[in-house]
């Protein structure tokens, strides 16, 4: 088991980097870690893995990536928070090339299992119009009206996984991640998501003494956020399960964005004057994960408290911020 070749696509990214680390901690040594970014931009780089810089949109790159592979985890995508996906719909949809070519290469390599990282953005927008949410069940993805661009790509790729399983016998598994956060992820530059962006803004306000914060939208929009350790546990459980349909992988601890700002202010120990940018991208009004199915199938669901995860995330962003501040490159 320890000798099987495991491929992690998107290993230079947030979740992919953590996944490689977790596989190594579990004793795997035959790991191929691939990302399009230059190595110095990978969030985590492990010398124990075979690290490769490659653009997985191309079929031949995917064939090389999957050679002798027995398990393939596809965490590669051109993505970011709402600010990025609302303005880069074509780019987001081009990630369909990565998953499609990886699936083809996986079949050609006779791989055993294939994991696809889908998203809560596949859910029908009509089910997410109120902040007073009813948590999303897996069946709520249809009839289809996902997030434009990014969500359509995810829904289509989920379906590709299903048909590759049905038609070619590749054991595909799909998880719909709901907002994953934690250390070693994007925290500035335009692709960051709300938890990291709020940590950075609060830390910046504390460091500069300018005790103000801009919040995207009215801050009443509701979300749940899953800490990376829960995400890794869920990926492993889903990948090695018999669950054939896409499954929610998210926390069901609901918060408003204003509530998340309160929490980070409390962790950092400051109180800020708030302004709300009502023209900024803010996504759907409300979204939560219904964890009935994952609980039923796996006897487990993500449970790390938001406050605990945010304290660790904030501590890591503080270190990064202070390093960059020393080089005077921190964006406000
Ligand atoms: P990330 O942006 O940190 O990582 C994705 C990685 O894929 C990046 O390092 C990027 O360079 C790489 N990549 C992009 N195009 C590539 C290509 N052509 N060839 C090779 N590598 C390429 O994102 P993440 O948060 O780690 O997300 C991982 C996966 O989980 C993605 O599929 C994402 O859509 C999905 N997801 C994430 C979240 C979340 O909250 N983080 C939520 C839902 C779904």
Q: Which residues are catalytic?
A: 150
Q: Identify how many contiguous H helices and E strands the chain contains and give both numbers.
A: 10, 13
The model carries a pTM of 0.96
Instruction: Check: CB of residue 2 under 8 Å from CB of residue 29.
Output: yes
- Residue 115 CA, ligand 1 centroid: distance in Å: 13
From residue 132, give the alpha-carbon distance in Å to each of 128, 138, 179, 223: 9, 19, 18, 10
How far is Cα 285 from Cα 132, in angstroms, rounded to an integer?
9
Domain membership of residue 208 (yes or no) is no
Residues in the ligand 1 pocket, defined by CB under 6 Å: 10, 12-16, 35-37, 55-57, 75-79, 98, 117, 119, 177, 179-180, 185-186, 193
What are the backbone dihedrals phi and psi of residue 226, each rounded to the nearest 5 degrees, phi first?
A: -105, 130
How far is Cα 294 from Cα 288, in angstroms, rounded to an integer?
14
Per the omega criterion (within 30 degrees of 0), is the bond before 120 cis? no
Q: How far is CA 165 from the centre of its chain?
A: 23
Q: What is the DSSP letter of 140?
A: G
Closest ligand 1 atom, residue 80 Cα: 2
Domain membership of residue 243 (yes or no) is yes
Q: pLDDT digits over 180-203, tens only?
A: 999 999 999 988 999 999 999 999
Q: What is the mean pLDDT of each run of 10 residues along the chain (332 residues)?
A: 84 98 96 98 97 98 98 95 89 98 98 98 91 91 96 98 98 98 94 94 96 94 96 98 97 96 98 94 88 98 98 97 82 55
Q: Number of folded domains in the chain?
A: 1
- CATH number for the domain including 22? 3.40.50.720
Which residue range is the domain that position 119 belongs to?
5-181+225-249
Domain membership of residue 237 (yes or no) is yes
In this structure, the strands spanning 222-224 and 212-216 are unpaired
């Amino acid at each position: 088991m320890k000798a099987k070749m495991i491929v992690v696509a998107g290993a230079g990214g947030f979740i992919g980097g953590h996944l490689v680390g977790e596989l190594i901690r579990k004793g795997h040594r035959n790991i191929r870690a691939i990302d399009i970014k230059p190595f110095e931009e990978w969030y985590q780089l492990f010398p124990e893995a075979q690290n490769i810089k490659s653009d997985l949109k191309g079929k031949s790159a995917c064939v090389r990536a999957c050679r002798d592979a027995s398990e393939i985890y596809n965490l590669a995508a051109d993505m970011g928070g709402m600010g990025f996906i609302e303005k880069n719909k074509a780019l987001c949809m081009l990630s369909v090339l990565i998953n499609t070519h990886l699936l083809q290469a996986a079949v050609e390599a006779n791989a055993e299992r294939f994991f696809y990282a889908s998203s809560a953005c596949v859910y029908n927008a009509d089910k997410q119009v109120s902040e007073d949410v009813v948590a999303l069940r897996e069946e709520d993805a249809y009839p289809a009206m996902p997030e434009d661009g990014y969500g359509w790509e995810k829904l289509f790729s989920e379906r590709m996984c299903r048909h590759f399983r049905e038609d070619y016998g590749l054991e595909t598994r799909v998880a719909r991640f709901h907002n994953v956060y934690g250390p070693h992820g994007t925290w500035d530059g335009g692709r960051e998501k709300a938890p990291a962006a709020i940590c950075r803004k609060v830390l910046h306000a504390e460091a500069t003494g300018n005790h103000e914060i801009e919040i995207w939208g009215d801050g009443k929009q509701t979300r749940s956020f899953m800490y990376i350790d829960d995400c890794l546990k869920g990926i492993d459980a889903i990948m090695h399960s018999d669950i054939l349909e896409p499954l929610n992988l998210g926390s069901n601890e609901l918060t408003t964005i204003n509530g998340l700002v309160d929490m980070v202010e409390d962790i950092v120990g400051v109180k800020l004057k708030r302004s709300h940018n009502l023209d900024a991208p803010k996504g759907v009004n409300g979204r939560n994960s219904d964890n009935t199915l994952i609980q039923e199938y796996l006897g487990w669901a993500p449970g790390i408290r938001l406050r605990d995860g945010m304290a660790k995330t904030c501590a890591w962003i503080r270190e990064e911020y202070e390093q960059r501040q020393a080089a005077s490159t921190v964006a406000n």
